Structure 1
Amino acid sequence: MKYHQNSVLILLLTVICLSTAFVFHQAPAESQPNILWITCEDLSPHLGSYGDKVTKTPHLDQLAKEGVRYTHVFSTAGVCAPSRSSIITGMYQTSIGTQHMRTLQTPTSKQYTLVPSYSALIPEQVRCFPEYLRKVGYYCTNNEKQDYQFVAPVTVWDENSTKADWRGRKDKNQPFFSVINLVTTHESQVFMRDKEPLQVKPEDVEVPSYYPDNAIIRKDIARFLTNVQIMDKQVGEIIQKLKDDGLYDNTIIFFYSDHGDGLPFVKRELYDRGLKVPMIIRFPKGEKGGTVDNRLISFVDLAPTILSLANIPIPSYLQGQAFLGNQKAKTPRKYIYAARDRMDTEVDRVRAVSDGRFKYLKNYMPEKPYYQDITYRLGQNSMKEILRLKEEGKLNEQQMYWFRNRKPDEELFDTKTDPNEYKNLANDPAYKGKLTELRTKHQEWIKKYGDMGAIPEKEMLAKWWNGKDKAPQTQQPTITMNGTTAALLCPTKGASLGYKKHGNDKSWNVYSKPFSISKGDSIYAVAHRIGYQPSEIVKMKVN
């Protein structure tokens, strides 16, 4: 009787697992390409292949010669954590409560926030997309930054460390998805590397019109562009490692940045210079090498695109659309959307929609000034110099553009004729049609996906936790064994389930269906609903 009950429970658990979202099937090996993401931080298209005449980036230029250079790729925010949240989930940060910069605090970053550290409670159906890859056999690694606005479950990566890459696979034929993030171009590296030798001469750099032109400004720009050149060398080393392992010609390689430059009046902004990033994709054997793709692409499109390339069914809840693979969207994207919310201690709410040329901005807090006194960026000498010259009345009209005391309700820019987005066309009758079009698209976007930025942050947290001070704990999973099979179940809806067959296993397996067990195995199981605290680890010995 007991055996029969266990059999029925195993069958029930199997049905439950197969009915959640959609069914995963193990795809044939030939339809599971290796995929490598080389990502960097805080970089607009300062690459030779994008026309930069000062910065020397031979390795990325070569990748562009062998790959496809994308010209209209946009982040969903001008800052890293909200942007990375949209990448890993395929969801707009404003739709899942990850819009504020940032939610998870370290001991050194507490000074930069208004609220206690929290892991965002995202909708229960949403997963970090590498889980889907792992379920069909991919080896997934991250090196090393996550910064998703929530604590990621242990089921997301086989390995997340400073040494993680494809070489951790036990089976060299196992397909991999590896992310290697390079911090060299980050905003902080402008002041942290201030004393290091420059590879770019300050007198050679181009000073944007929104900056004063002097030695201090030029040095910071030269420092930043030097960091780009150092990053390019690091990219070359990664590519050489791939070649040494005989994987270069059977791996899809992505290169992109998490948002625009980490310089003043660029990072955190919703102007093109804060949102538009370089992206190069090299396909196996250099297919389509040297071509240019001008399609509009948003960061919410990355998750469905990777699933499409890996021949994994794209979950219907994803808000992006695949631009590659056999599930590529039939209709190219016509608009990109972006948002700005709290930045450290400074609160604001701005939304953007662009058709690739015309940019619409909706300022929900027009009483707020454009410039926000964000402590972190004061580490850059150029920021301090701009503020000094402002106080002395030595900035011209364009350089004072950032320091206007309030914003209009709406702004409209032609980024082709006005790339720095100085001239607001919202009140120009000649552009009434375009203003109406983009305003309508913004309103439709809000209606379709919602906007949690409309809720004060503390109120949002109180709503998540029913007035409690901290997140609840995910309920413990149960382990049910039946002969040579074990099944897991967790009462907490939306929890990811991980298991190990031995305590010393390097990584947690992603649970999707009952798995085989052998006598002597020690089964470990853990459950984690994103936004909750993970459960206690449950252990059961196979007798």
Structure 2
Amino acid sequence: MSKDNSPQVTRRGAMRAVAAVAASTAATGALAAQPGERPNILWIVSEDNNPYVGAYGDRLAHTPTIDGLAKKGLLFRNVYSNAPVCAPSRFGILTGTYPESCAPANHMRANAHWPRELKTYPELLRQAGYFVSNNSKTDYNCDIEPERIWDLQGGAGHWRRRPAGKPFMAVFNHETTHESRLFQPTPGRVTPDMVSLPPFLPDTPGIRQDFASYYNMMEKMDGQLAARLAELAADGLADDTIVFHYSDNGGVLPRSKRYCYDEGLRCEMVVYVPPKWRHLMPAAPGSEIKSPVSFIDLAPTLLALAGVAQPAQMRGRPFLGERAAPQRYAFGMRNRMDERYDFQRTVTDGRWRYIRNYMPHRPWGQHQAFEWLAKGYQDWETAHRAGRLNAVQDRFFQTKPFEELYDLHADPHEIANLAGTPAHAAQLARLRAALDAHMVAIHDNGFIPEGMAGEGLVASRNAAIYPLARVMAVAGDAASGRKSPAQLAALLRDGVAVVRYWAAMGLLIAGARAAPQMGAMQAAFAAETSDHVRICLAEALIRAKAAPAPLVDYLAAQVAQQAAWPLQLQALNALTYVGEAARPATPVIAQAAQSNQEYVRNAARYLTSVLDGSYTPAKPIFDYERMMRRMAAGEKGVA
């Protein structure tokens, strides 16, 4: 993470930069694209941004550059990342394939296998004659080698390095608004007393400061955007370059990044198209596009602008160019976020959001070491532990319903869950069906526990290992409680490991209601060959009040082994939620707290502090200094 010394930009300076790019003089207006000519494409990407932007109606925001681009270009009102965190989102942007189609890319910081036979958008653009450069973030969540797919990757990546006469596609990434920048206050024109807080958050000094800092970070980022546009104009390229500005996922204020609400998935995006390329726009300059757009549509849009055929792997639709076609829905997902496992799928049409929770027994607000470095989360949990929250604010720390439905127009903060109200049954059925069809169409791998056989774009197509439709039905029955514990216990003898896993998950979700199936569960635990299933069964048995000692011993043994860290992490998560029963495993947990695997280490450090009574929400679990040392050494996949 490079140090950011960019000055805050004045509104006049920002408007000069935008005007330099978007000047509509008579001469420029007379320009027209020549046969065979292709536009340059510039992506200016920022990190962790909700639309805290003046053009989106935020009166406290000072974002003159983005506002100016929106006035002369297109503002996308309902644009969403496909995951509420960077690495899975970037996988989808790069490949045009949903991360949950290529597990473990659906988990935060993983290394999914991407078949070399399938090409990413920079490779396809290179084949079409474009010079492609990336400056400089990769974080693609898979085994793609960045240096292989880009003409120029790294800090030197710039359109200025292209061969003469070549069109370019250049990416610049700014980390000014990244989550980590929130850990220290950012002074500026917005002060804590000026902000308005959403009703799901308590009013605390730390939360107010986080909001104020975020506005000030957004203003700094806007200044960087102005500088890049001025550079483009100075090089005489403004008339030939289509400019995109978007954020890689939603924001970082409490209940945003990592969560499948609008705060985690809804982003800001504006696109400026010079006059000679206006025939590629779906609407007039200054227009708002209200139909849903998601980042899975970015790669198809690039290819459409460049006149390149879209490969079958890319599931999105172009929103610019001659092939532009509006989407009806935008889909999102969550699986493991850092050291915590969860499983959510969601769909929105821009008006309604539907969320399905396949692990409703886990609270929304699972402690995550990196996330909890922010004062906002510390203050929120402190107020929860002190009993100072109202029901709306305290919901974050409670377990979840199977389904959620929100009217985003009437309830933009997604507080009133309408999933159980008869008046909204039609909306629920429509979005439920859309999500089911989507998950089948993209062959969602998310039901496979991390590290189990069957993960991957190709491997998951083996129906003997992963019969998706059947697994979806069992998982839905398990998470919703539609099947009884007796019916789930019968599935523990199934020949497919993933089916057995979701049967065990359903018994875990059932908790004490599974107690009558204790004998069947114990027999299944003894006979089970998959440790993924056994870990889930062990937690289910403890929660159903089985004698915990042998089960805790088994979980401790999984934590102690180091050959497969996802199993270590799954066992640590199970121990975290069995309470005092985990205490005999304390020595093994303390040893895991020294692990070199970041997520194992953080989960173990947290659990150790809970068991020894030293935990407070402000206690630093994440080793921030260690991360900074790794970043300084140039390690990839950090932060």
1:279 alignment partner in structure 2: 269
1:139 alignment partner in structure 2: 131
Q: Give the Å deviation of 1:124.
A: 5.2
1:166 alignment partner in structure 2: 159
Q: What is the 5 A alignment of 1:470-509?
A: none
AA of the residue aligned to 1:352:
T
Q: Give the Å deviation of 1:28.
A: 8.6
2:451 alignment partner, SS class: helix
**Alignment partners' CA distance in 1, 2:455 and 2:96:** 25
2:181 alignment partner in structure 1: 189
1:430 alignment partner, SS class: helix
1:309 alignment partner in structure 2: 305
1:51 alignment partner in structure 2: 57
1:458 alignment partner, SS class: coil
1:129 alignment partner in structure 2: 121
Q: Deviations over 1:191-231 (max 9, x none)?
A: 1x43x533312111121112211322211111111110000
AA of the residue aligned to 2:323:
Q
Q: What is the 5 A alignment of 1:218-297?
A: 218-285=208-275, 287=278, 288-297=284-293
1:540 alignment partner in structure 2: none
Contact 1:40 1:256 in 2 (8 A): yes
Q: Give the Å deviation of 1:58.
A: 1.0
Higher relative contact order (CA 8 A, sep 6+): 1
AA of the residue aligned to 1:245:
D
The one of 5, 23, 42 equivalent to 2:48 is 42
Q: What is the 5 A alignment of 1:363-402?
A: 363-402=357-396
Closer, same or farther: CA 225–141 of 1 in aligned 2, 3 Å: same
Is residue 427 of structure 2 the alignment partner of residue 421 of structure 1?
no
Closer, same or farther: CA 184–101 of 1 in aligned 2, 3 Å: farther
1:96 alignment partner in structure 2: 102
Q: Deviations over 1:370-393 (max 9, x none)?
A: 111100011111211111111111
Name the one with the larger strand percent.
Answer: 1
AA of the residue aligned to 2:55:
S
**Alignment partners' CA distance in 1, 2:236 and 2:285:** 19
Is residue 440 of structure 2 the alignment partner of residue 453 of structure 1?
no
Contact 1:350 1:364 in 2 (8 A): yes
AA of the residue aligned to 1:71:
R
Q: What is the 5 A alignment of 1:196-235?
A: 196-235=186-225
Contact 1:100 1:343 in 2 (8 A): no
Aligned length: 423
AA of the residue aligned to 1:55:
A
2:70 alignment partner in structure 1: 64
- For structure 2, list consecutive stretches of 5 or more residues without a partner in the other structure: 1-32, 279-283, 466-529, 531-562, 565-639
Q: Give the Å deviation of 1:243.
A: 0.5
Contact 2:291 2:349 in 1 (8 A): no
1:398 alignment partner, SS class: helix
**Alignment partners' CA distance in 1, 2:193 and 2:235:** 42
1:180 alignment partner in structure 2: 172
Q: Give the Å deviation of 1:100.
A: 3.7
**Alignment partners' CA distance in 1, 2:357 and 2:422:** 20
2:543 alignment partner in structure 1: none
**Alignment partners' CA distance in 2, 1:96 and 1:210:** 34
Closer, same or farther: CA 269–338 of 1 in aligned 2, 3 Å: same
**Alignment partners' CA distance in 1, 2:332 and 2:455:** 26
1:236 alignment partner, SS class: helix
**Alignment partners' CA distance in 1, 2:455 and 2:82:** 26
The one of 292, 316, 319 equivalent to 1:320 is 316
Closer, same or farther: CA 341–239 of 1 in aligned 2, 3 Å: same
Closer, same or farther: CA 145–29 of 1 in aligned 2, 3 Å: farther
The one of 317, 326, 335 equivalent to 1:341 is 335
Deviates more, 1:342-351 or 1:318-327: 318-327
**Alignment partners' CA distance in 2, 1:402 and 1:99:** 26
1:400 alignment partner, SS class: helix
Q: Give the Å deviation of 1:317.
A: 2.6
Contact 2:448 2:455 in 1 (8 A): no
State the TM-score, normalized to the length of structure 1. 0.75
1:434 alignment partner in structure 2: 427
AA of the residue aligned to 1:328:
A
AA of the residue aligned to 2:122:
P
What percent identity do the matched residue pairs reach?
38
Q: Deviations over 1:130-182 (max 9, x none)?
A: 100001111101111111101323331111112311011131x2100001011
Q: Give the Å deviation of 1:412.
A: 1.2
Q: Give the Å deviation of 1:30.
A: 4.0
- For structure 1, list consecutive stretches of 5 or more residues without a partner in the other structure: 1-26, 105-118, 471-543
Contact 2:103 2:455 in 1 (8 A): no
Q: Give the Å deviation of 1:462.
A: 7.8
2:79 alignment partner, SS class: strand
**Alignment partners' CA distance in 2, 1:267 and 1:438:** 23
The one of 345, 355, 370 equivalent to 1:351 is 345
Q: Give the Å deviation of 1:297.
A: 0.7
